[in-house]
Structure 1
Amino acid sequence: MKQAPGAGRRRATRTVIAVIVMALLLSVAAAVWVACRGLGAAARGARLFDGREPLTATLAGHATPLPAQTARCSQCHTGPVTPIAVNSWPALPGPPLDSQHLRAPLSRRGGPPVAYDLAAFCRAVREGIDPAHVILPRTMPRFDIDDTRCEALWTHLTRNTP
């Protein structure tokens, strides 16, 4: 049986179009998945921040874990900036933890300005050492937090990038 002239070319064109459409659909699905994952991470980070999902922590130099209600980030810090958080911060012992304060380069003890990124944030939370290699106060708990939960906390705190 003989093919009509140009039939092979039309089939190849349809195949290329089908491949392009599939690639576009896959990239849209991937973007939606990443966005949903980020929303899930931010929600989990909010639970970690306010203590609804407890974290284990100790004070520097101590082996006994703190009671869960005293190891909440919100105990000492405000999170992403809200009018309430801005007005309540001076009464809290720790600085605000939001995108503006975490990502703004800051010079400590005459050193070069540095800002937090995910790795530096997790190091500070776990070990009490900031990005300028300055040891945080002993009153800042050292948290036993895995990479997934630390990234969720970071996502919550920095989700509103200026």
Structure 2
Amino acid sequence: MMMMLVLALGTALAVGPERSAKPEAAVPSSVARGARLFDGTEPLAGTLSGHSAPLPGAATRCIQCHAGPGKSTAAVSGFAPLLDRRQLREILPRRGGPPVAYERTSFCRTLRTGIDPAHVTLPRAMPRFDADEDQCAALWDYLTQALSQ
């Protein structure tokens, strides 16, 4: 009887969680960087429309006003829209303008200028970011990652 328990325990340990667990998919570096930019771990320089003084890093964290991929709209206080693949890539009416969808180029232009693809100006509370191409690409990759649908 004791021998059977030892064999059963040894077998269970041999095929335990390590063997049955699926390996996690590696997160592309641009998606990881985009997440850091979104949550403010990596600062993103910006100003308010009509002002030249740079905003403090805490004021330019996207997550302060927007929910990101995998979050529900309930997580957003109504102050700013949810930012994920569907919200950015789907053709939707925005800010009273005609229906449009974002592409990476228009997303980056909007971050920098505050003017969306329908030529509607974002609210003044939305910072105008001094994002370089790599920062923009990383944010876009994070926000539009396939898992965020």
TM-score (norm 1): 0.70
Aligned to 2:129: 143
Correspondence list, 1:88-127, <5 A: 88-89=75-76, 91-108=77-94, 109=96, 111=98, 113-127=99-113
CA change 1:110–1:153 in 2 (3 A) is: closer
Aligned to 2:38: 49
Correspondence list, 1:66-81, <5 A: 66-81=55-70
* Matched residues, number: 123
Structure showing greater radius of gyration is 1
Cα deviation for residue 68 of structure 1 reads 0.3
Measure the CA separation in 2 of the matches of 1:61 and 1:142: 10
Cα deviation for residue 114 of structure 1 reads 1.1
Aligned to 1:6: none
Cα deviation for residue 110 of structure 1 reads 5.5
Query: What does the per-residue CA deviation read over 1:81-126, in whole Å, with 9 as the maximum and x for residues that have no partner?
Result: 23xx43311x151101100110110234463x21001001001100
Measure the CA separation in 2 of the matches of 1:125 and 1:56: 11
CA change 1:114–1:67 in 2 (3 A) is: same
More helix by share: 1
Show structure 1 runs of 4+ deviating over 2 A: 107-111
Measure the CA separation in 1 of the matches of 2:89 and 2:33: 21
Classify the secondary structure of the residue corresponding to 1:55: coil
The structure 2 residue matched to 1:134, chosen from 104, 110, 120, is 120
Q: Which runs of 5+ in 2 are unaligned?
A: 1-24
Aligned to 1:154: 140
Instruction: State the superposition RMSD in angstroms.
Output: 1.8
Amino-acid identity (%): 53
Contact 2:69 2:143 in 1 (8 A): yes
TM-score (norm 2): 0.76
Query: What does the per-residue CA deviation read over 1:42-101, in whole Å, with 9 as the maximum and x for residues that have no partner?
Result: 00000000000001100000000111011101111011023xx43311x15110110011
